[in-house]
Amino acid sequence: MIGDLQYPEGATPLDPNELGGLKHKHVTTQGELDQLEQANIESGLRWLGRQRAHVLTDAFAVTLHKRLFGDVWDWAGTFRTTGKNIGIDPVHIPVELRTLIDDAQYWADNKTYSPSEAAIRLHHRLVKIHLFPNGNGRHARIMADAVLDRVYKAQPIDWAGGYDLQRMNERRTAYITALRAADQDDIGPLMRFVGPRNDL
């Protein structure tokens, strides 16, 4: 059983109950867990590639998390019930998610924002709500890219920019700093973080 997980800055630690939801009881190191999660995410991305369902629904957001993390964590695709250092009070998660999805559909229908800005705003609101016990950053980046692809017929964002966004490095620092600015209603740093795109 895994003991002390290492968390980069801007990650939300798991509580003991959530750690108990690890499906592979033989895992003892962070490296093994990272590999299992990565393999699960890759199979989830293959599932996403085959999906034809509308991606801008709350049910889709939940199913996507289950597909990305459900081989590793038994709480994948279920909303967070514990408080974290990031995220809203868990009792408000279902309503806030529905509101966000409705807003994002409105942005698409009314061309409120460029595709990139709409995806960035969706991403930030998802991680700010913090739907799940873990995997929120990865899920919300894939969700934003799925909306770019399916709803806007636009290219995905190069989030990692050649770095590993799950570890501490200058790219992650810029990402977390930009999210904190967005928390204060300044979306500019996150727009600059994703860099020049055709539609911005």
Binding segment for ligand ADP (CB under 6 A), chosen from 15-23, 50-58, 107-115, 135-143, is 135-143
Residue in 65, 67, 121, 138 binding ligand ADP, rule: CB under 6 A:
138
How many residues of this chain bind ligand ADP (CB under 6 A)?
16
DSSP 86: S
CB of 33 to ligand ADP, least distance (A): 11
DSSP string, the chain: --------TT--PPPHHHHTTBS-TT--SHHHHHHHHHHHHHHHHHHHHH--S-SSSHHHHHHHHHHHHTTTBTTTTS---S--SSS--GGGHHHHHHHHHHHHHHHHHHT-S-HHHHHHHHHHHHHHHT-SSS-HHHHHHHHHHHHHHHTT--PPP--STTS-TTS-SHHHHHHHHHHHHHHTT--HHHHHHH---TT-
Binding mask 154-193 for ligand ADP (x = CB under 6 A): ------------x---------x--xx--x----------
Looking at residues 12 to 31 of the shown chain, list those that interact with ligand ADP (rule: CB under 6 A): 12
| 126 or 154: CB nearest Mg ion | 126
Nearest residue (CB) to Mg ion, 87 versus 115: 87
- The residue (of 40 and 134) whose beta carbon lies closer to ligand ADP is 134
Q: Assess 63 for contact with Mg ion (CB under 5 A).
A: no
Residue list 113-172, contact with Mg ion (CB under 5 A) = 134
Nearer to ligand ADP, 56 or 127 (CB): 127
